[in-house]
Chains A and B, each alone.
Chain A
Amino acid sequence: MNILLILIIPFILVILPSVVKKPKTLGVLNAVGYLFVLLCSLWLVLKPGGIVSPFKFFYIDELSVFFIFTISIVTFSAALFSIDYIERDISNLLISRNKARAYYTFFNIFSLSMFFVPMVKNLALVWVAIEMTTLASAFLVGFYNTKLSIEAAWKYIMVCSVGIIFALFGTIVFYYASSAVGVKNLNWADMVSASHGMDKNLVKIAFLFILVGYGTKAGLAPMHTWLPDAHSQAISPISALLSGVLLKTAIYAILRFTIITNKCVGVDFSSKLFIIFALVSLGVSAGFIIIQKQMKRLLAYSSIEHVGVIFLGFGFGGAIGLYGALFHVLNHAVTKSLMFFGAANIIKKYKKDNMNMIRGVISSMPFTGAMFILGMFALTGMPPFSIFFSEFLILTAGLGRGLYLASGLYLFFIALIFGGILFHFSKVLFGSKPDSMEITKEGVSAKIVFIFLFILMAVLGLAMPGFLNKIIVSSVAILEGA
């Protein structure tokens, strides 16, 4: 039942703005709603799972639950962060109150469509849901309606649509392959069970198209080009959503198809592709991070990097690799949202995004600064934070399989990116703040968000809670096709 709650609450919240007029209350209600969603998904995680599919329309196993959980965490924190953010925008006369309400509407449509992705049974509907996420978020990317944001939105929507079209093509070919063996509905479970009989050649082609299509959405290089624009121009809570979970939904879709493909043509095919794309993404992101000037763009490129890492984990495979990759999905969602919120505060404070002009954040806004620096180290894979462990697991898998070249490149790029990020952010964080600037106190809600995410970031690393471990392990089992 709570599955439906997870969908119903956002739906109600979609309608809410037309009823409630005051943005502040709207924001609070929003946050409360997503708190409930988070609790529901937590309950899903805690409850000994198994496959449930109400109405024959949904299909929810541990993998979906894991992704739902991730999405709900990020959406909750984004909603919470939005309260302050939107308030400040209104008070700065950046947006009107109606626009604020529009924001909440689109926010909810967006997250609703994201929640749909891991739930629906039919792969074509997965495609539809992902397309919907694009359309909904396009408005949020172009939210401020400036030249830059509109440009970003156009690129985002166009590039992603093209990618998505390829994904649809892949889906159709899959459908053809499965219908050849008599499965004429696009239900994932049936296709998996039928996967042995499918025409290997067809499945391979289909998978290529799926990978490129959804890969565009997931931000794999060289189809990543929309990502930095969209992430940097989007309104900041949404940037967190975009890189925190939107990419992950695309990854989810790819995973579903990967399972079928692996069953049909064996693991090697997909794992080779994954590793290649992952390394390309890592390299590209490393290069761009080193020469980056703008904070949010840098974070965007680091999302590309982390998507690369995740795919590397899936490519390396094996229980350890898959575990690491899934764990990394969660870790990256948490850490990157924290970083985006921090960047949002900093940019709001300094009124500029160019890192060469921002100095002394630690002294001008101590709380955010502290969180941001810790987040930076978490993001670059320093212990005791969680990302270190997932990256470590992935590396273990790689070396365990004896893929020395890939692992070496992985380490090299990680080190490069570490250097780049440290170089840029340490200049921003330390140094002396402009004298005219006075020290700010963050709002309560913002503080709560930071602390919430930070606790996740730190705890997941040192003490993995058992239930989460269980869910990941069983999703790994699903991925291995057991």
Chain B
Amino acid sequence: MENFFDIRLSFLFDPLAVFFLFVISLVSLPSAIYSIGYLAGKYSPRKIAYAWLLLTAFIISMAFVVSVNNALVFLIAWEIMSLVSYFLVVFDSREEKSIQAGVIYLVMTHVGTAFIMAGFLIMHKYANSFDFISLKQASIIMPSGVKNIIFLFLLIGFGTKAGIVPFHIWLPYAHPRAPSHISSIMSGVMIKTGIYGIIRFVIFILGVDSMWWGNLILVLSGVSCLVGVIYALMEHDIKKLLAYSSIENIGIILLGVGSSMVFLKLNMPGLAVFSLIAGLYHLINHAIFKGLLFLCAGSVYSATGIRDIEKLGGLIKKMPLTAFSFLIGAMAISALPPLNGFVSEWLTLQAFFIASLTGYTAGLKIFFSLCAAILALTGGLTAACFVKAFGMVFLAMPRGKSSELACEVSLSMKIGMLFLVFFTIALGLGAGVVFKLLEVVAKSAAGVDVGSVKFSLNGFMFLSGQVNSISLSTPLVALILGAVIIGIYLGCGGSKIRKYNTWDCGYYKLEPRNEYTGTGFSKPFRIAFNFFLIPYTRTEKLRKSFYYIKSFKYETFTTPVFKKYMYYPLIGMIFTTAKFMRRLQSGSIHMYISYIFITILMLIIFMNRF
């Protein structure tokens, strides 16, 4: 009883925790630097001080989450993290939208926490302690049915925070509302704590108990990939777009984690470690380039005050450095070699390949190759999505006054972005080293020790028992590309160049209005995926007479499937019950007294049931 209340603040700095701490600091530092320039001018000094307070609290709480050694303390840190991030979401507290976003976010995450709590307490029932070690020991004596329940609870809980479909709806609300440096931390790191939870509590403590765990995670994450990227394609609020693509990337990360769970169950430790490495690698990569992209979006927003990409454009001339950073981020996220995103997706695909090569049953093999296909499709769609994003925001002519008058952001913001740009490239080229480091993390997390993952350092050469060798060397790729490009320039640069208008079919003048819009860009996808997006259009004609239509308005929408068919009905049900219950308090005292009478009567009648 007493031991309930001395919450021993003990830490666990195993490689996993250290890795996550590193990720946190890696994204938080540049965001903090960035925020100097971002907040200045926009807010009053008091508000800025408040923002810094919240930022520090946020970082500290996240650090606690990933490093404590006690489930109860973990819960507390977890809730505090959610609370602080809520305050950050409603930072612009004047706007109804932020308030609504905050409510949605906090309610979702609270429900998730309830599930986590239940899971922990069921574990506690067997362990009689909240220490990770004793929980780990207790996991042996748990019956497998209970383990399944716990797994489901933890998956729902942490999945809500990580934003896997169908628990993702809070993400596109919350991330855009927060100040940009915070959105970068939220999307870059905070949602990763959900992944940390899954790795720590499911793989490390609970131990993978049955096959379907991994498979379920794989399916969910595959769905998250596709749903995330498709919604991102449809979106034209730049920060919302990034939020949706976070959902997709979480999916990719979990593809790695899930397959490693499957391998653990099949007891192929080498593969398990390999795919966990893939997952972790994509985790850190996503942290970096998503942070970068959010910072860039923030700079665009603070330069123009617009987040709608349909109204932006031509910024590459106004703010070249931001454009360059965004380009790097976009290339990385669409997995273009030799940047980091490519490496991690390559690893994940390799994991799937080897899985479909050496998986036990044919069904499993086919399943894994399907996962590979989904990943490939996601990659292609992401590329399209970010071509759209970059093209609409930075290229061609400005689509409005505010983007014409835009100018490059302040120094601190530049530093913040460049820092992350550097790491985006570094983690691409230094893949070999990173892989080596992550191997340690993955081994300790999976709790297995294998010699079967070897690699030599030119790029890296992955050899394992079952497969012949394959090789990939990002430095070499970069080298060759660079060499060829430079060669081309030296060989045949400097031809005569004449500047002239864009060709406009002889139309007398070319305006921004002629440009292709983001909506137009994504139209093929909207039609191709109409089975899921269920697009519908609304047209209205302003006509002078029956024959003369003055103007014609055409809007197109897509149906938010999960909200419409999953959440609205649920909420509606709750509200109808509440409204029905309202009659209980009818205001008539006679009724009230009769309640008492009826209650006592019922109790006496059913007395012997109690």
Interface residues, chain A, with chain B CB atoms under 8 Å away: 154-155, 158-159, 162-163, 166, 204-205, 208-209, 211-212, 216, 222-223, 225-226, 228, 268-269, 272-273, 284, 286-288, 290-291, 319-320, 323, 360, 362-363, 377, 382-384, 388-389, 392-393, 395-396, 399-400, 402, 407-408, 411-412, 414-416, 418-419, 422-423, 426-427, 430-432, 462, 464, 469, 473, 476
Q: Is the CB of A290 within 8 A of B99?
A: no
**5 tightest A-B contacts by CB?**
A225-B592, A430-B93, A287-B581, A287-B578, A383-B76
The residue from A286, A389, A395 contacting B117, defined by CB atoms under 8 A apart: A395
Q: Is the CB of B75 within 8 A of A383?
A: yes
CA separation between A362 and B122, bound complex, in Å?
40
Q: Is the CB of A208 within 8 A of B604?
A: yes
Q: Is the CB of A392 within 8 A of B80?
A: no
Q: Is the CB of A414 within 8 A of B114?
A: yes
Decide: A430 near B90, CB < 8 A? Known: A208-B603, A291-B579.
yes
Q: Is the CB of A395 within 8 A of B90?
A: no
Q: Is the CB of A273 within 8 A of B610?
A: yes
CA separation between A291 and B575, bound complex, in Å?
8
Which residues of chain B are within 8 angstroms of A419 by Cβ–Cβ distance?
Answer: 103, 107, 110
- Looking at the assembled complex, report how far the CB atom of A161 sits from the nearest CB atom of chain B, in whole angstroms: 10
Which residues of chain B are within 8 angstroms of A360 by Cβ–Cβ distance?
Answer: 94
CA separation between A462 and B610, bound complex, in Å?
38
The residue from A205, A223, A287, A382 contacting B599, defined by CB atoms under 8 A apart: A223
Q: Is the CB of B117 within 8 A of A411?
A: yes
- Looking at the assembled complex, report how far the CB atom of A93 sits from the nearest CB atom of chain B, in whole angstroms: 30
Which residues of chain A are within 8 angstroms of B578 by Cβ–Cβ distance?
Answer: 286-288, 290-291
CA separation between A209 and B600, bound complex, in Å?
7
CA separation between A286 and B578, bound complex, in Å?
8
Decide: A228 near B585, CB < 8 A? Known: A155-B592, A400-B125, A427-B99.
yes
The residue from A222, A320, A399 contacting B595, defined by CB atoms under 8 A apart: A222
Decide: A287 near B577, CB < 8 A? Known: A212-B603, A222-B584, A411-B118.
yes
Most chain A beta-carbon neighbours within 10 Å: one of B7, B72, B94: B94
Which residues of chain A are within 8 angstroms of B592 by Cβ–Cβ distance?
Answer: 155, 159, 225-226
The residue from A226, A290, A402 contacting B575, defined by CB atoms under 8 A apart: A290
A433 nearest CB neighbor, chain B only: B94
Contact with A along B247-280 (1 / 0, CB 8 A): 0000000000000000000000000000000000
The residue from A284, A407, A416, A464 contacting B5, defined by CB atoms under 8 A apart: A464
Decide: A166 near B94, CB < 8 A? Known: A415-B110, A415-B114, A422-B103.
no
Known: A216-B596, A273-B603, A427-B96. 19 other contacts (CB 8 A): A159-B589, A163-B596, A204-B607, A204-B610, A205-B604, A208-B603, A288-B578, A320-B1, A377-B83, A392-B72, A392-B117, A395-B118, A399-B118, A400-B124, A418-B107, A418-B110, A419-B107, A422-B107, A423-B103
Contact with A along B77-93 (1 / 0, CB 8 A): 00110010000001001
CA separation between A424 and B603, bound complex, in Å?
36
Q: Is the CB of B5 within 8 A of A469?
A: yes
B124 nearest CB neighbor, chain A only: A396
Q: Is the CB of A431 within 8 A of B94?
A: yes
CA separation between A163 and B117, bound complex, in Å?
38
B112 nearest CB neighbor, chain A only: A415
Which residues of chain A are within 8 angstroms of B99 by Cβ–Cβ distance?
Answer: 426-427, 430-431
CA separation between A388 and B125, bound complex, in Å?
19
Q: Is the CB of A272 within 8 A of B610?
A: yes
Q: Is the CB of B599 within 8 A of A212?
A: yes
Most chain B beta-carbon neighbours within 10 Å: one of A286, A288, A426: A426
CA separation between A406 and B577, bound complex, in Å?
20
Contact with A along B572-610 (1 / 0, CB 8 A): 001101110110110001011101100110011001001
A209 nearest CB neighbor, chain B only: B600
| B106 CB–A CB distance under 8 Å | yes
Which residues of chain A are within 8 angstroms of B76 by Cβ–Cβ distance?
Answer: 383-384, 388
Which residues of chain B are within 8 angstroms of A392 by Cβ–Cβ distance?
Answer: 72, 75, 117
Q: Is the CB of A284 within 8 A of B125?
A: no
Which residues of chain A are within 8 angstroms of B114 by Cβ–Cβ distance?
Answer: 411-412, 414-415
Q: What are 12 of the A-B contact pairs (CB < 8 Å)?
A: A159-B589, A159-B592, A208-B604, A216-B596, A228-B585, A290-B578, A384-B80, A392-B117, A408-B118, A416-B574, A431-B93, A431-B99
The residue from B2, B83, B589 contacting A469, defined by CB atoms under 8 A apart: B2
Which residues of chain B are within 8 angstroms of A430 by Cβ–Cβ distance?
Answer: 90, 93-94, 98-99
| B102 CB–A CB distance under 8 Å | yes
The residue from A204, A223, A431, A473 contacting B596, defined by CB atoms under 8 A apart: A223
- Looking at the assembled complex, report how far the CB atom of B161 sits from the nearest CB atom of chain A, in whole angstroms: 15
Q: Is the CB of B80 within 8 A of A383?
A: yes
Which residues of chain B are within 8 angstroms of A287 by Cβ–Cβ distance?
Answer: 577-578, 581-582
Decide: A382 near B83, CB < 8 A? Known: A166-B596, A288-B582, A426-B102.
yes
Decide: A432 near B94, CB < 8 A? Known: A204-B607, A426-B99, A473-B1.
yes
- Looking at the assembled complex, report how far the CB atom of A388 sits from the nearest CB atom of chain B, in whole angstroms: 7
Which residues of chain A are within 8 angstroms of B94 by Cβ–Cβ distance?
Answer: 360, 430-432
- Looking at the assembled complex, report how far the CB atom of A247 sits from the nearest CB atom of chain B, in whole angstroms: 16
Which residues of chain B are within 8 angstroms of A395 by Cβ–Cβ distance?
Answer: 117-118, 121
Which residues of chain B are within 8 angstroms of A383 by Cβ–Cβ distance?
Answer: 75-76, 79-80
CA separation between A284 and B4, bound complex, in Å?
31
CA separation between A208 and B577, bound complex, in Å?
29
Which residues of chain B are within 8 angstroms of A384 by Cβ–Cβ distance?
Answer: 76, 80
Q: Is the CB of B610 within 8 A of A269?
A: yes
Decide: A212 near B600, CB < 8 A? Known: A416-B574, A431-B94.
yes
Which residues of chain B are within 8 angstroms of A400 by Cβ–Cβ distance?
Answer: 121, 124-125
- Looking at the assembled complex, report how far the CB atom of A315 sits from the nearest CB atom of chain B, in whole angstroms: 11
Q: Is the CB of A382 within 8 A of B575?
A: no
Q: Is the CB of A162 within 8 A of B593?
A: yes
| B484 CB–A CB distance under 8 Å | no
Q: Is the CB of A473 within 8 A of B110?
A: no
- Looking at the assembled complex, report how far the CB atom of A478 sits from the nearest CB atom of chain B, in whole angstroms: 14
A366 nearest CB neighbor, chain B only: B46
* CB within 8 Å of A: which B505-527 residues: none
| B486 CB–A CB distance under 8 Å | no
Decide: A288 near B125, CB < 8 A? Known: A382-B79, A431-B96.
no
CA separation between A408 and B153, bound complex, in Å?
12
Q: Is the CB of A155 within 8 A of B589?
A: yes
Contact with A along B554-582 (1 / 0, CB 8 A): 00000000000000000000110111011
Which residues of chain A are within 8 angstroms of B121 by Cβ–Cβ distance?
Answer: 395-396, 399-400
Q: Is the CB of A290 within 8 A of B574?
A: yes
- Looking at the assembled complex, report how far the CB atom of A160 sits from the nearest CB atom of chain B, in whole angstroms: 10
Which residues of chain B are within 8 angstroms of A418 by Cβ–Cβ distance?
Answer: 107, 110
| B111 CB–A CB distance under 8 Å | yes
CA separation between A377 and B582, bound complex, in Å?
26
A225 nearest CB neighbor, chain B only: B592
CA separation between A464 and B96, bound complex, in Å?
39
CA separation between A209 and B122, bound complex, in Å?
36
Decide: A208 near B607, CB < 8 A? Known: A223-B599, A418-B110.
yes
Which residues of chain B are within 8 angstroms of A323 by Cβ–Cβ distance?
Answer: 1, 4
Which residues of chain A are within 8 angstroms of B80 by Cβ–Cβ distance?
Answer: 383-384
Which residues of chain B are within 8 angstroms of A423 by Cβ–Cβ distance?
Answer: 103, 107
Which residues of chain B are within 8 angstroms of A415 by Cβ–Cβ distance?
Answer: 107, 110-111, 114
Decide: A225 near B5, CB < 8 A? Known: A288-B585, A392-B117.
no
- Looking at the assembled complex, report how far the CB atom of A276 sits from the nearest CB atom of chain B, in whole angstroms: 8
B96 nearest CB neighbor, chain A only: A431
Q: Is the CB of B106 within 8 A of A225?
A: no
Decide: A422 near B106, CB < 8 A? Known: A158-B589, A209-B600, A407-B118.
yes
Which residues of chain A are within 8 angstroms of B83 by Cβ–Cβ distance?
Answer: 377, 382
* CB within 8 Å of A: which B89-138 residues: 90, 93-94, 96, 98-99, 102-103, 106-107, 110-111, 114, 117-118, 121-122, 124-125
- Looking at the assembled complex, report how far the CB atom of A164 sits from the nearest CB atom of chain B, in whole angstroms: 11
